[in-house]
Amino acid sequence: MSETVSTHYEQLGGDAGVRALVDRFYDLMDTAPEATAVRALHAKSLKVSREKLYLFMSGWLGGPPLYVEAYGHPRLRMRHFPFAIGARERDEWLWCMETAIAGHDMPESLRQLLLVRLRDLADHMRNQAE
């Protein structure tokens, strides 16, 4: 007898769940005073950034590799290098993501895993000396 093991993508709610998480993240970034520095790194419209994060998160969570299919390997640090990312920008990005995750229905074990992995990922994106 075999058990069905769901992916993080499925545990988050599949396509609709990933889209909802990304939308909440960017809604926070666009409106929250806690995110002014990280918001300033983005274009006036967040439409392209919103779509790219959705595509990336889909594959990163074990769903369809949409970002890779559209753009190739993510090379996250290289793609973020043109932007000055220091501790403040990292922390604001994390605040948006942690707040979005806190309000999303998912297993607590997944929530904790995402928080750890995304904190590491956000810290890796820093390219400014403190």
Predicted pLDDT of residue 96: 98
What are the chain's domains?
A: 12-124 (1.10.490.10)
Q: How many CB atoms lie within 10 A of CB 42?
A: 16
- Residue 130 confidence class, pLDDT cut points 50, 70, 90: confident
d(CA 109, CA 105): 12
Q: Strand, coil or helix: what is 128?
A: coil
Q: How many CB atoms lie within 10 A of CB 66?
A: 18
Predicted pLDDT of residue 3: 58
Predicted pLDDT of residue 9: 97
Q: What confidence tens digit (pLDDT) does each residue in 6-31 have?
A: 999 999 999 999 999 999 999 999 99
Predicted pLDDT of residue 25: 98
Q: Strand, coil or helix: what is 69?
A: helix
Q: What confidence tens digit (pLDDT) does each residue in 66-124 have?
A: 999 999 999 999 999 999 999 999 999 999 999 999 999 999 999 999 999 999 999 99
Predicted pLDDT of residue 61: 97
Residue 5, pLDDT above cutoff 70? no
pTM: 0.93
d(CA 59, CA 47): 19
